[in-house]
Amino acid sequence: MKQIRGAELALGASDLAETELEMVRTLLRVRVIPHVIDSVWECGQAAHGGKSGRRPLNTSAVGELSRLAVTFPGSTALTAMHRVLDQQGIDPSTATEYLTEFARLSRDPLAVLNHFRHVKTSINVYLRALIVGWDEEKMKNESRTNTLVEIRSRVTPFVVIDQEKKIYLRDRAFKLTYAELGSDRAIDEWLDQMTNLVSESILEDRKSRPSRSVYESKFPNVDRSASPATTHTLNLYSGRFTHYIYKYAIKSFEIQASHRYKVVIENQDKKRIEALDALMAKSTSQTYDYLEAIASQRPERSILATSNFSPSTRNNLIQKFDLGGRDLEIEMKGDALQSELVTKLMSNLKIQINLKLFKGQLVGSVENARGAIKLTLDQPQKSDLLQIQKILKALG
């Protein structure tokens, strides 16, 4: 029976997830979201009676609105979309009404994209565990490091301070990296060991960071074992990782799915894509009716207040985002997004991350006579800096 090494299986699952994420992102940007935009523009409540007196959005505007909707999360996307509508000569109140309706009716299609983003995040957590205890100087002299180097190019390892624990976790990671897998039973056992490694690695990573709270700083020996929320998140990571490990193993090595895996809906991703294709088969008016019916099935909640994307009311505003399961909060007062403050904030964050001057939560704040901006991010990574910069640019 054909066998594959553990890390190669994990990389294969990662590549498969990345391919599907890009496929969904492209499908949404090129076909689905433009269709939703046209449906709401022509048939929504903001149209005030339909097409009468309403000139259609030009192709470039629809393309830019679609790009923003699939590139940025929630309120950040709507802020940037509001500016595009303003450039099209649409008055602010109409733009606000239209975007609020768009946000409500595009929730389901964009939820598909968020699902695939969360899948990628889950797999990356497991890749981080495979290089836990990474020692670059030592690895230069190792002969079996090609796979590890490839993983290292994609993710950063968990941080482990205790040297004895670091060696212990690294040795376990090495065994799982080079484990030969050729059956569903072997894969199931490997998955169990991988999840245990991830759990211990997350705990050690938390211990390596400064206390999150004043309480913890006063009582340094406080138990920092995994909280129920962390356990729940790990269960989600494990389910998604298991799903893609078997999808790749079945597809590439014809390994049969285990009984444990059969409880997972193997075609769930395919069904999501088919649902989006079905949406595209409807006419503009049918699409709007379809989206309206979906939206009516769940309790209404406020998508965004006008102040979330109206530049004129940004005197005191808090924006919250989800970066792959981690909370990002940006608090702005006055003229917070002036270039001087944004530059100083990014410099502040970069210094903290490069010198590891934080533990658990990254906090950065700057202010001057005209405004102030404060940012907090849970479990930050160096790659977050570019995403934060993009979000601040979109908000500005």
pLDDT in tens, 319-348: 888 787 788 889 888 877 888 888 889 988
DSSP-derived 3-state class of residue 106: coil
Rounded-to-integer distance, Cα 45 and Cα 30, Å: 24
The one-character DSSP state at 326 is E
* For helices 268-280 and 6-27, angle between their N-to-C axes, nearest 10 degrees: 10
What pLDDT score was predicted for residue 248?
86
Rounded-to-integer distance, Cα 190 and Cα 151, Å: 18
Written as one letter, the residue type at 220 is P
Rounded-to-integer distance, Cα 331 and Cα 375, Å: 6
DSSP-derived 3-state class of residue 120: helix
Cα torsion 9, 11, 17, 23: sign: negative
pLDDT tens figures, 351-396: 888 877 777 788 898 888 778 899 999 888 888 898 898 888 877 6
Cβ 233 vs Cβ 325: under 8 Å = yes
Total residue count of the chain as it appears in this document: 396
Residue 294, H or E segment: helix 284-296
Q: Higher-confidence residue: 117 or 140? A: 117
DSSP-derived 3-state class of residue 377: strand
pLDDT at 303 over 50: no
Return the structure tokens found at 50: 């339909």
Return the structure tokens found at 25: 């992102």
Q: What is the mean pLDDT of the chain?
A: 80
Cα torsion 202, 208, 210, 214: sign: positive
The one-character DSSP state at 29 is I
Cα torsion 377, 77, 111, 120: sign: negative
Question: What's the start-to-end Cα distance of the chain, in Å?
Answer: 57
Calculate mean pLDDT across residues 189-218. 76
For 1, half-sphere exposure in the C-beta direction (CA atoms, 13 angstrom radius) is 13
